[in-house]
Amino acid sequence: DARVTQTPRHKVTEMGQEVTMRCQPILGHNTVFWYRQTMMQGLELLAYFRNRAPLDDSGMPKDRFSAEMPDATLATLKIQPSEPRDSAVYFCASGLESNQPQHFGDGTRLSIL
């Protein structure tokens, strides 16, 4: 089965450090999404891309977060500098189109100390 692959699965780092999360979408999927999930806020959309172009990053704190898609097989989400409130599970998902089912990766569990 085709899967969305995320790395790393877990990340523990100190406040102020740069964090980079990576995602390989399912081959052939045109849309890629980044979500953050916490107990308090649930699943929140941070950013999404269609054909590698960023379409919506309104859910992302612009001062410290950035999302890019350097090629069709790689999406990245960076946090710099990281803060304890960024601790969450970050999911990447991909789909054929924005209005069609999205398939999620296993997530990156991030802890900022």
Partner 1 sequence: QKEVEQNSGPLSVPEGAIASLNCTYSDRGSQSFFWYRQYSGKSPELIMFIYSNGDKEDGRFTAQLNKASQYVSLLIRDSQPSDSATYLCAAYGNKLVFGAGTILRVKS
CA–CA separation, 58 and 96 (whole Å):
22
The region of 21-29, 67-75, 77-85, 98-106 touching partner 1 under the rule CB under 8 A is 98-106
From residue 37 to residue 76, the character string flagging contacts with partner 1 as x (rule: CB under 8 A) and all else as - is: -----xx-x--x-------x--------------------
Please state whether the peptide bond connecting residue 8 to the residue before it is cis, i.e. omega within 30 degrees of 0. Answer: yes
Only one residue has tokens 């052939």, namely: 28
Site size with partner 1, rule: CB under 8 A = 17
Determine the residue type at 50.
R
Closest contact distance (angstroms) between CB of 98 and partner 1 is: 7
Closest contact distance (angstroms) between CB of 16 and partner 1 is: 28
Which of 33, 34, 49, 65 touches partner 1 (CB under 8 A)? Answer: 33
Q: Where do the DSSP E strands lie in the chain? A: 5-7, 10-13, 19-24, 31-38, 42-50, 53-56, 65-71, 74-79, 88-95, 103-104, 108-112
Our CB check for partner 1 shows the closer of 35 and 65 to be: 35
Answer yes or no whether residue 1 interacts with partner 1 by CB under 8 A.
no
